[in-house]
Structure 1
Amino acid sequence: MQWRINYCRSGHAGFASLHVDAITSPRSQDKGCCQCIPTAPRRLSPHLGGLPSSCCLVIQAHCYRGSRLSRNMSTMLKTRTFSEEERSAFSPFIDDQPAIGRYEHFKMLLLGPIAPLRFIVGVLIVMSVAPVFRLITRTKAPSRAELTAMQRRMIDLYGAFVMRVALFIGGYLWIRRKGKRVRMVDGVHVPVVVNHQSWVDIPITAASGCFGFIAKDAVEKIPVIGQNAKLVGTVYVDRTSAESRRNAVQTINDVVRDTRGAGLTVWPEGTTTNGSCVLPFKATVFAVAGKCGVPVQPMTIKYGHRCYNVTLASADWKENFFRILTQFVNKAEVTYLPVMSMEEGETAEAFAERVRAAMADDLAAPMLDYPARRKYVYREYLKGKIPLSEAVQKAAEM
């Protein structure tokens, strides 16, 4: 078994409690080095001083206090430090995690064996929406517009209930809420705009009764999920079609004005971040709100990062699931900010920037003008497709 760990000399503390049987340092793509540490079990830290300042270690066998970790648990050992160049170019997207100490290892060893069971139970509960929605609608594949007001209400309530139960199984025993949700103004739905950090954002917003997501059309083709997501107001858009993107404004306009719909929930940043900042907002929903004469309601989600940062900016999704399911408690806080309307003579871009500033102030996070496309360049670098120098150059050209 092998585990790959990226290492920088400044990061000794991250390995302080790791015991190893053997370590080799194969030829690095960047520095080119090859060293070997004696194979007797011992602490790693005393041996790091002789390694180059940047190299790639492969742990061939290891143990922690005599307990051998399985291959599936290897991802939790990935510890990185980031160069100034990497931080400068990709700051919102780096997976900057707290150091894994003895307490975290204890939780993983204690809760790791039941993590798969918690995951399976959560999936089964979420999948229960299919038969329940079928029972409520009494037909196989209706549209939301064909349902009665009572049926729509029952679907929304059950959808929110299922998401809350799934979050509870995932360790979100309670979610603190501040402010008041404003659903409609003058018979028109008030769009909700949310900061985007993790896949957990989706069940949290749904558990709060905020539906009407915008998703790519490929989701509609997923068995069970596609049709049932449509029943809670999900709108599908073909992102590869220029015509579909041009029609997005009209689609959003129809959703906002449709009293039989579920409203609209939008993540205007367009991608997830590590929660360290607020990215520029796409102005489409703000243009529609101004055209319809309705306000938008900013909603912020904050996560507790003391033990583990649940954000999914560039983390491996398997590691992300595992770490979330091996926490005793996960914390989240939802804040509904006051509704905000477009002012006379204000452009959609200026309106979006004003809402962004209000959300950044509540999150106590800076507004950084990093284009969302940088994240995909960074992923190419993380997958080893391009070197860091090329990734930084591409980012600078955006």
Structure 2
Amino acid sequence: MTSAPVLVAPWRTPIGTAGHGFADLTTTDLAAPVLRAVLASLRESGCEDAVDDVVLGNCLGPGGDPARIAALSAGLGVEVPGVTVDRQCGSGLEAVMQAAMRVRSGDESVILAGGVESASTAPWRFWPPQAGSEPVRYTRAPFAPDGFEDPDMGVAADDLARLRGIDRVRLDGYAARSHRLAAESDFTSEIVPVAGIERDQRIRSNMTAERLARLRPSFSPSGTGTAGNSCGISDGAAALAVTTESRAKGLPALRVLGAAVAGSDPALPGLGPVPAIEKVLRRTGVALSDVGVVEITEAFASVVLAVSDELGLDENLLCPQGGAIAMGHPWGASGAILLVRMASQMLADGGPELGLAACAIGGGQGIAMIVERAW
């Protein structure tokens, strides 16, 4: 017997700029307050069912299963297990997708799912030394094996803009929109204050296209990606409860219609969301024209615009309250942050009925999920 999974009690931390407000906070310090907030929301609504599991996405944490450690720190009890998943920038959305599948199957009733990243406290890692040499620190894991292109993400974003004919003016214009929309929005209702910080740290109201145009390329001398039209390295966490309609007890909820992952060319990882979105549209029978809000992780303006161009999206539906360019991109948490952001918009009075969340992933992958207002 299958049960339609719904998402309730969405919460997130403020998104902190790495090395600043959350500089000394670990993945546990960030994830535990959010898990406590989700649990408190469930209890206030009378949803007293025991939590079956905690599933969190994370990319660069210290190991040791951050989800389980955060669950214990949040006071969920030793009987509540936890598992950490890694699909790089799609990890937070992957965690929710896995939880939704388990609830849909009928095996589980309540799972807390989301993601967390502390770039500030991520441990340094080193390759083992070769004979007679010193260990070599690496700043990122390989996304593809020998024989495949494996560009750094910024370089790949520049390549994508060049190959798709997206010029600097358009990139900066989109970035200015992200900054403006985020600065005009009030995110208070979705944020759990942490360490005295109550607001996203990166958002700037004065980032106009003219100011952005003065920034130099960040990734290659002739590239178009800059610090202004790309995301910031960030710290943060987000989580929500995945449960059944009957157990949601009338809580404001989003029903998970479907989700999908797909592979794409590792040389152009920014196009990864395209096949994933096409796949989930086929699975659900939803027409893209019926979707009222689209949240794509704004790792780079070129990624969002290239995906939009490939699919023929209405750009007015893209990240209507700004995105990671303005707010920051805590890698393992960002997919879950998309769902929290989408819930705030869809569950508001007059909000859209259908929403689509998607992430591009290093190495050439994409992940996407379609949700609808449950009632």
Q: TM-score range by the shorter chain?
A: under 0.3
Instruction: Report which of the two has the higher share of helix.
Output: 1
Instruction: Report which of the two has the higher share of strand.
Output: 2
Higher relative contact order, structure no. (Cα contacts within 8 Å, ≥ 6 residues apart): 2
Q: From the CA coordinates, give the structure whose radius of gyration is larger.
A: 1
